[in-house]
Structure 1
Amino acid sequence: MRDPTIFAETAAEAWAPVSGWRAKARGAARAARIRLEALRQGPATTPFVRCLYAHAVFSDTVPTFRAFLRAAKQEGEFVDTATLRTIIADGKPSDGRFFHLSFDDGFASVYEDGGPVMEDERVPYTMFVATDLIDADPDTLNRYFAHMPAYRARVRTLDWPQAKAAAEGIGEIGCHTRTHARLSKISGDGARLADEIAGARAIIEGHVGQTCDSFAWPYGTASDIDDTGRAAIAAAGFTSNFSAVRGAVRPGATDVMNIPRHQLEFHWPLHELMVWARGFREA
């Protein structure tokens, strides 16, 4: 059993390596496709609105993270969630090129290692936090990471002073439920659903001292949420809701309560990050 007091402090320590010949073959094929796409793509020149998300920015990925932000800023402007909502609600084809950047789960590395870079580069960002993981004891984190096979070790989460400091800078603290619950599995329990959604929002606002009106549902696929969960999110007062499904954001057409996002992680090579930032597989 893993030592519950030991946390990964670098990407090399955190992410599980690919194992097994089938997985390695799939990974090699994927890398080849992305390399070909990188050669095919050129810098973005047409209007777009694109939401990107990751989980962490570890110390060993800071150089790539900074290089990515600078490269992306050559092709588009990073906007905060309020601006994104305005662009979507405007209903007119965007005449600009816009990125929105967010991070799920509330890992401390985003604030500690990524925060100074985003402040330097003036890139607004949102951290979607699961409130019971903030300041969590080792046993709570132990249970959480037991269901996260992508990680080879536990990753430290924010504390509330860090969350408050991020929100007082250019960050935003959004909601990712209390316990990282799969909403489609608890939609029959109205009390728990309300606690995971409205309860989490109240906890965030109490600690951060600012309105929390952005939500991202855990796991992020269409099967991880249902109509009951969506209704509870709206009833709790959230005005935007983010998925983890790749797709284009289209002003006037995209549902602000079902905003698509492209995943990327900053231990990936820069050319791969830019392939996703340019909307690979967006259609």
Structure 2
Amino acid sequence: MFDVPEEDAYPFDIELISASVDAFRRQMDYVARHFRPITFATLLAHLDRSEPPPPRALIVTFDDGFADNYHEAFQVLRERGVPATIFVSTGFIDRQENFWYERVANAVLASRSGRGELPGGEALVLGPDIAARRPAVKRVLSALKQMPDDERRRQVARLVAQFDPAGRCDGDPRSGPLTWDHVREMSAAGIEFGSHSVDHPILSRVDDEGIRREFTESRARIEAVTGRAVQVVAYPVGGPDAFDGRVKAAAREAGYRLGISYVTGYENTATWDPFAIRRLHVERYTGEPLFRAMLAMPATFAG
């Protein structure tokens, strides 16, 4: 996500902010001047011809499907001729409900109560303002990400009801999802869309049938809307604990050709695991010198 002028007043998970709009413009100016931005479809076409990727190739990616990918990033990318890939969780597109982790974060940050209860029963004492409550958000989200999927869903509902009984945590456009009209327009303009599941679960905590559904239904929905083949999936959360051999095998069986993690790193197509592709992270604190250094010396920043 983009552009939070006052972090201490922002009532959602601040860790999801990647850049201000001005910083993103500068980053894409640099990418357009010094690199060859491509899509995964272009990469796969080269590999199918037994050709290496183009020199200085990179792929710009976004996860989840936040509306500001359309309202902020799309114009910046289009003006510079930079393609990108957006991985969307299809169950949230067109809904007036924020992503589950944003609902929880907002409920905790905006709660009128000074205390609550963590999953498992441990007391959770909330600070007096948003800045003081951010550690509590991290604790809650970390606990949720370790749970079996059914239990996570129950706990999300419980936590939102506990901290936000008035239901104020949904529908905030600062943290809302794309619409399918956004997806159609961006796809027609050359933005690539990949799967990020249906409901954004932690896939390693989901049973086999659930994983299959997440992969096949999301892929079918995106293809129906865009008219383009979906060959790539990015695993929700994407850390080492969020996907495993079972998840990778299910991605392959569902017809995907590449699986994208959120493990820090970069890839050489001669040696990679195509279902555990790593990425370099651009965060809100990634200044311009660091951004340029990451692209110039990716191995230095590969975890």
TM-score of the two chains, using structure 1 as the length reference: 0.72
Q: After superposition, where does 1:163-178 map in structure 2 within 5 Å?
A: 163-178=183-198
Conserved in 1, the CA contact under 8 Å of 2:89 and 2:196? yes
Of 180, 184, 197, 1:160 maps to 180
What is the CA deviation profile of residues 138-188 of structure 1, one whole-angstrom value per residue up to 9, with x for unaligned ones? 3xx2633145547998612100010111111120111000111111101xx
Residue 200 of structure 1 corresponds to: 218
Residue 268 of structure 2 corresponds to: 250
Conserved in 2, the CA contact under 8 Å of 1:182 and 1:218? yes
Residue 48 of structure 1 corresponds to: none
Structure 2 residue 101 is the aligned partner of structure 1 residue 144? yes
Structure 2 residue 100 is the aligned partner of structure 1 residue 82? no
What is the CA deviation profile of residues 115-146 of structure 1, one whole-angstrom value per residue up to 9, with x for unaligned ones? 111111111101000011111233xx263314
Structure 2 residue 202 is the aligned partner of structure 1 residue 185? no
Of 11, 15, 39, 2:4 maps to 11
SS in 2 for 1:243: strand
Q: 1:276 deviation in Å?
A: 2.6
Change (3 A) 1:259 1:142: closer
Letter in 2 for 1:244: Y
Q: Distance in 1 between the 2:267 and 2:21 partners?
A: 28
Of 61, 65, 77, 1:102 maps to 61
Q: Distance in 2 between the 1:86 and 1:251 partners?
A: 13
Q: 1:240 deviation in Å?
A: 1.3
Q: Which runs of 5+ in 2 are unaligned?
A: 106-136, 142-168
Q: 1:113 deviation in Å?
A: 1.0
Of 29, 41, 64, 1:70 maps to 29
Letter in 2 for 1:275: A
Q: Distance in 1 between the 2:54 and 2:178 partners?
A: 37
Letter in 2 for 1:234: R
TM-score of the two chains, using structure 2 as the length reference: 0.68
Of 230, 239, 242, 1:224 maps to 242
Letter in 2 for 1:163: V
Change (3 A) 1:14 1:106: farther
Conserved in 1, the CA contact under 8 Å of 2:2 and 2:21? no
Change (3 A) 1:219 1:9: closer
Conserved in 1, the CA contact under 8 Å of 2:2 and 2:18? no
Name the structure, 1 or 2, with higher relative contact order (CA <8 Å, separation 6+): 1
Conserved in 2, the CA contact under 8 Å of 1:123 and 1:170? no
Aligned residues: 234
Letter in 2 for 1:114: A
Q: Which runs of 5+ in 1 are unaligned?
A: 1-7, 18-53
Q: Distance in 2 between the 1:90 and 1:281 partners?
A: 30
